[in-house]
Structure 1
């Protein structure tokens, strides 16, 4: 702020000098006491009013500051410095109209007033008047090309408008003029972090942290710690990231950002109890931070810690009613009380807020589809190793008609471990290894490859980058397979592949995409997979006798109501067992406790270790009946069970995630295993466990279905999918929209497919 030199006549200049000295020494309380005494003697002394205003601001009395400066400018209406100070404090108080008036008055009094143009530009940025703000900064720089703050603020404006190359040049200019400008160095580090230039960003953050205390605000240094931790996290340097988050929390144990970031890191590392404690701390100290409630609820579901679920659910529902975003689209799937319409609303808000900047920009590709004989299809493939959905997709990729289609694959997300041999890249005409890259370079690679139809098989799932499709890098974008629900915004995807069961036409209002329905089941399978010889029960750690129920779905899909039903079955089928997949030790302990509370011996719960996919398929043959989860069904796990000849009992709801297993069962002609409430679910499973004469023919039926069912006819599925791509392309050529429904096809014999 600038000081005013106007003075009244009843106060001695020595007294004014003493007041100024107290202020400069940071003795604000003494300065305010002296200023009050002086102004009581001479209420029209402009310089005292100005100094008193600055002292009050220093102790946080913003309203008093503005009132005193308003008195000063009324007494000295030609003092441009007073108007600059008044406008600056009004801007701080978010009194935007009054501040703008003050800055413009200062400029009128002093047309070459660089500081006023700079502050006016900041105000116009706050009003999102980007063009006017830019003109104001340019005017300041015309007067003084080396005006450091105007250069810096113009760079910040360029960053907001995603003109990153221009922003980088402006920030470099600032640092050339003032080597240790901490704000410019921080902005440059953040820009490099956003661009994935991690080495440069790390160097800049380290430089900030080494600055002497008198050169940098403590808050900026504190934030640099957190941003450097995030950088380490992006580089998979988790130990370094954890150390820095802990340093932040040592300084501020209840700080929101470090608590959330550290919790996310613990979740990523599978340290679920620690993640739970951190998210719990956020909810305790920042109860209005909606995302923390969703993450805490997710931890409790993964740990099968259900005692607080009802309370958390009520809190989350209240936040949703208030228009907040406590749930990511993926987390929302686990809430059985949410309707398909509510899920669409959650996903729409998520897309609109998360990708607001990208969705406001023109799409990367605007060309209209044109007739062509050979379509170029691109598949976005995240985490190409150990990804359940890609096991199912591999057969279709191998069966694609290469005369009619060029097939491109884009591998991104975590880089495969050293020494891992991947089959997936070999199945594409062209494969792009883009691991660890950001969304924009991946999107631009898709543009460069001139892809006609881009298929996203990740959606809003872990490690995915929906920002790729938000750039609109192809004329047509399809959402399929990975995320069972709408992406919420028409720009994110033009079509969603489903079928008459998972996405019936009457559910079209629940999707932001056009529905594109496969004739049988939307989910592919790979019938090249071989089932090895059935292992012994002893080899799998199972008792020699007893009916085996199983559920190999992840724990976040389980609910207290579901476990109630399973325990009823265990109590009514003597000697029966429940075979579950291993989870976190705390989760398994909690599950054992929940089972015991329901009157079942916890020894009847057997936990299966993770195994490579083909080994897992082989051991499934030991299972008698798979019990599906609700409201999120098994996807790959249900398909695997059917392929292994294991009947799957499912409960179908209204959401897509709760209809997947029903679609699989209809494709193998086992509609009788589709239930609509918990009671019929339990009774259906009980009937199978009690009647071997009914169960054995069903298992034999499934074994025959490996050859006869459209679910397991991979070539037939590939031809149907290609027909769907052609229909989608043709509809776009005709500038049409709306659902596309393929008619059922016949089995195809294709000797060229191996």
Structure 2
């Protein structure tokens, strides 16, 4: 992104060398005539005459030297090196000769040899400015940044008004981590020449690194004012817009840069990143590969390609591209961070953590790497370590809303945390992101009976558990009463994404877009009711709600707790989940729906219900199919007591994490430390959905974890006719199991305390006939609750939207 460094070219012949040995008249005449041709640009004639002089007088120093210069000026670097070296053997203190030899060596990439030549030139003439300039640049290329800075500083003392010296001192200072020194050097270059576009570019690059996007753009625009065709300036402005999240502005800048400079690899790479954000991954890959074709040594190009390939499901190709990025730039953190994400998505969690640690070794302030490492620790069930990572991410980037959300989400798994404390942590998030707004600025027509514009904000409009609840709602919406808008933060769209698009009247991708821009879009669309489906789960867009772009905003489905935002007007639930009197723990107004606020899509081809496992095995088998992060110390303590009190029982644990041996070993060790023989426990990894459901046929009683209960797993267990034992807690996340059981009238499966939970489990183990009776018609009773009736649920939600809308209209003086 920075401007180019400045160097000195080969010295042009301006006269004869001094202290030249006596020459023959013929050689002298040939050299003098050759010199005239040389200065006039008649290269062939000059070369022939220099060679003629050497034929007459081998080793003639002027002929050797000027022939070397001739070859140097015409790009024949190896021949230049040969003849200049021969000349210098005869005249070892010739400063200009060593300088030109340095140029020849530098052009061939022989940097260490070039540095020696320039040092010899300076030794011969300490005030030889071009030698200092080129020596500093060689040190830059050798990544000897301290030496480079020292060389340019000496040059500035010799030539205080050398713009090139100040510009290159800035480059050296920035490369060695002295951004302030670099900024001072660039500003001094501008004092000497305010029309120096490269200095403006380099100042902008430093401001960009500081995330000072407005000032960075200003610097790049100053470069453009000097040089309107400066492709680098357009590209860098695009980078600033992109980092701010204004993608359309960014794309126009990258396209302009590419138009000005068709072979500009960075512009193609950045356009690839934009197409990726826009969801056009095919075009994104095409642009990224163009960038690589132009700049095959660009680490950034391979890094962008790796991201795109990951999003297209080409995991192995992604890893190959990112490994290439690492080879090209082993000191950069980003390629390691990106390969960590690819490995994590591929289930290689231990390797992913190693990659994130490599990123953090290179950049200890890489908040994204800390956040991603935290998410990997969550997948491994390492809650405390995950929360530490999120804290470090927030420390590195205080406005990193997703890291803050990940921490809040993780705290809901922490046992023995008070409702007051967890609420306060959520409210602190709201204090950061809530913005003041003027309700009178909404232009939505306050007609209480008109069709409503409903906006759904979600990152999970793809293959995700939320879709199993939400898709049937979308199908059942009354399209005469609602117009549907999707604000989709879908980073990896898939065939389900394409299917879901068909249920919406309008679809807008929010990926990588600025929160302000998304809020402005929602306001411009005239949304009446804006609904968040994610809460503090991954890739949420809660900060958008903080700007209050819609007159009514509600949280539903995705998160069983407060968002912490005062500008989130309502949260949908039922008294089973959030009892009356819980208002102090919510920033939103609690809005009670008439039934459990979720719907379950029964599989089209479910496995057959099988007989009672106890009758086949002769012992009771407990089971839990929840995410391993939910199987914390409190649950393990209780389940271990059950297994000790009922020594003939077995336990089946099934989770995605158990495809990782490290997770299996951690869980096995936790039970063994509590005196349980690991042979009594089966650890099972993921399965295809129908096979996964069939696995319920192997257990007699599902054990709901706590303090964070199961969600989808609870519904699936009951649908498969498996009784579920749940502990009714204080928080929403610890009441999901009891809420569902109350809805189907199975209070006998609800425990009031940990002791009661253990006692009930042991009783069922000792009296398995009770479980047989419970299984008899459990699926039918589950279905009878209406949980599998999306039409009824949709009418409930639409009625809620209408009620809230009519309230707002009444406040605005509507009919």
Cα gap change, 1:711/1:250 in structure 2, threshold over 3 Å: closer, same or farther? same
1:216-615 residue pairs with structure 2 within 5 A? Answer: 216=295, 218=297, 220=298, 222-245=299-322, 257-269=334-346, 272=347, 274-280=348-354, 282-283=356-357, 286=360, 289-291=369-371, 293-301=373-381, 309=382, 312=385, 316=389, 319=392, 325=403, 328=406, 333-336=412-415, 367=443, 370-374=446-450, 375-379=452-456, 388-392=465-469, 405-406=481-482, 408=484, 410=486, 431-432=504-505, 438=511, 450-459=526-535, 461=537, 474-487=550-563, 493-500=568-575, 502-503=577-578, 513-518=587-592, 523-525=597-599, 535-537=609-611, 543=616, 545-559=618-632, 561-573=634-646, 575-578=648-651, 581=654, 598-600=675-677, 602=679
1:638 is aligned, of 689, 711, 714, to 714
Shift of residue 461 of structure 1? 4.6
1:15 is aligned, of 70, 95, 108, to 95
Shift of residue 563 of structure 1? 3.7
TM-score by length of 2: 0.67
Cα distance in 1 between the residues matched to 2:583 and 2:786: 25
CA contact (8 A) 2:387 2:410 kept: no
Cα gap change, 1:201/1:395 in structure 2, threshold over 3 Å: closer, same or farther? closer
CA contact (8 A) 1:579 1:608 kept: no
Cα distance in 2 between the residues matched to 1:531 and 1:175: 52
Supply the RMSD in Å over aligned alpha carbons. 5.8
Shift of residue 544 of structure 1? 5.6
The number of aligned residues is 702
Cα gap change, 1:435/1:463 in structure 2, threshold over 3 Å: closer, same or farther? farther
User: Helix, strand or coil for the counterpart of 1:631?
Assistant: coil
Shift of residue 452 of structure 1? 1.8
CA contact (8 A) 2:487 2:509 kept: no
User: Helix, strand or coil for the counterpart of 1:328?
Assistant: helix
> Which residue does the alignment assign to 2:40?
none
1:660 is aligned, of 736, 742, 745, to 736
CA contact (8 A) 2:379 2:628 kept: no
Shift of residue 338 of structure 1? 6.5
Cα gap change, 1:92/1:340 in structure 2, threshold over 3 Å: closer, same or farther? farther
> Which residue does the alignment assign to 1:681?
757
Shift of residue 373 of structure 1? 1.2
Cα distance in 1 between the residues matched to 2:314 and 2:431: 31
CA contact (8 A) 1:500 1:517 kept: no
Which of the pair has the greater relative contact order for Cα pairs under 8 Å at 6+ separation?
Answer: 1
Cα distance in 2 between the residues matched to 1:391 and 1:610: 17
CA contact (8 A) 1:254 1:281 kept: no
1:9-158 residue pairs with structure 2 within 5 A? Answer: 14-16=94-96, 18-19=98-99, 21-22=101-102, 25-26=105-106, 50-63=133-146, 65-70=148-153, 72-73=155-156, 76-92=159-175, 99-100=182-183, 102-126=185-209, 130=213, 133-158=216-241
Question: Mind listing any 5+ residue stretches in structure 1 that lack a counterpart?
Answer: 302-308, 737-754
Cα gap change, 1:107/1:361 in structure 2, threshold over 3 Å: closer, same or farther? farther
Cα gap change, 1:70/1:488 in structure 2, threshold over 3 Å: closer, same or farther? farther
Cα distance in 2 between the residues matched to 1:608 and 1:15: 73
User: Helix, strand or coil for the counterpart of 1:241?
Assistant: helix
Shift of residue 483 of structure 1? 2.7
CA contact (8 A) 1:497 1:522 kept: no
CA contact (8 A) 1:90 1:99 kept: yes
Cα gap change, 1:461/1:115 in structure 2, threshold over 3 Å: closer, same or farther? closer
Cα gap change, 1:331/1:81 in structure 2, threshold over 3 Å: closer, same or farther? same
Cα distance in 2 between the residues matched to 1:442 and 1:132: 23
Shift of residue 380 of structure 1? 5.4
Cα distance in 1 between the residues matched to 2:510 and 2:767: 54
TM-score by length of 1: 0.71
> Which residue does the alignment assign to 2:61?
none
Cα distance in 1 between the residues matched to 2:8 and 2:498: 73
Shift of residue 724 of structure 1? 3.9
1:195 is aligned, of 267, 278, 285, to 278
Give CA-to-partner distance per residue, 1:312-362, whole Å, 9 cap, x none: 469658847966859935556544476667767988999999xx9x99999
Give CA-to-partner distance per residue, 1:80-99, whole Å, 9 cap, x none: 44443444445556656665
2:725 is aligned, of 631, 646, 649, to 649
User: Helix, strand or coil for the counterpart of 2:300?
Assistant: helix
User: Helix, strand or coil for the counterpart of 1:240?
Assistant: helix
> Which residue does the alignment assign to 1:746?
none
CA contact (8 A) 2:594 2:796 kept: no
Cα gap change, 1:494/1:229 in structure 2, threshold over 3 Å: closer, same or farther? farther
CA contact (8 A) 2:534 2:559 kept: yes
Cα gap change, 1:106/1:265 in structure 2, threshold over 3 Å: closer, same or farther? closer
Give CA-to-partner distance per residue, 1:622-679, whole Å, 9 cap, x none: 9764310123211233345567776543345565433322443455676675557644
Shift of residue 65 of structure 1? 4.2
CA contact (8 A) 2:436 2:547 kept: no
Cα distance in 1 between the residues matched to 2:338 and 2:211: 29
Question: Mind listing any 5+ residue stretches in structure 2 that lack a counterpart?
Answer: 12-17, 19-92, 398-402
Cα distance in 2 between the residues matched to 1:296 and 1:507: 33
Q: Which moved more, 1:387-396 or 1:76-85?
A: 387-396
Cα gap change, 1:724/1:622 in structure 2, threshold over 3 Å: closer, same or farther? farther
2:289 is aligned, of 206, 218, 233, to 206
User: Helix, strand or coil for the counterpart of 1:497?
Assistant: strand
CA contact (8 A) 1:137 1:150 kept: yes
Cα gap change, 1:224/1:494 in structure 2, threshold over 3 Å: closer, same or farther? farther
> Which residue does the alignment assign to 1:745?
none
CA contact (8 A) 1:114 1:140 kept: yes
Cα gap change, 1:267/1:465 in structure 2, threshold over 3 Å: closer, same or farther? farther
Cα distance in 2 between the residues matched to 1:683 and 1:98: 70
Cα distance in 2 between the residues matched to 1:113 and 1:293: 43
Give CA-to-partner distance per residue, 1:275-295, whole Å, 9 cap, x none: 333424544784655235424
Cα distance in 2 between the residues matched to 1:162 and 1:317: 22
Cα gap change, 1:442/1:550 in structure 2, threshold over 3 Å: closer, same or farther? farther
Cα gap change, 1:421/1:126 in structure 2, threshold over 3 Å: closer, same or farther? closer
Cα distance in 1 between the residues matched to 2:579 and 2:533: 20
Cα distance in 1 between the residues matched to 2:394 and 2:211: 28
Q: Which moved more, 1:564-573 or 1:640-649?
A: 640-649
Shift of residue 19 of structure 1? 3.8
Larger Rg: 2
Cα gap change, 1:37/1:15 in structure 2, threshold over 3 Å: closer, same or farther? closer
Shift of residue 518 of structure 1? 1.4
Cα gap change, 1:666/1:106 in structure 2, threshold over 3 Å: closer, same or farther? same
Cα gap change, 1:722/1:517 in structure 2, threshold over 3 Å: closer, same or farther? same
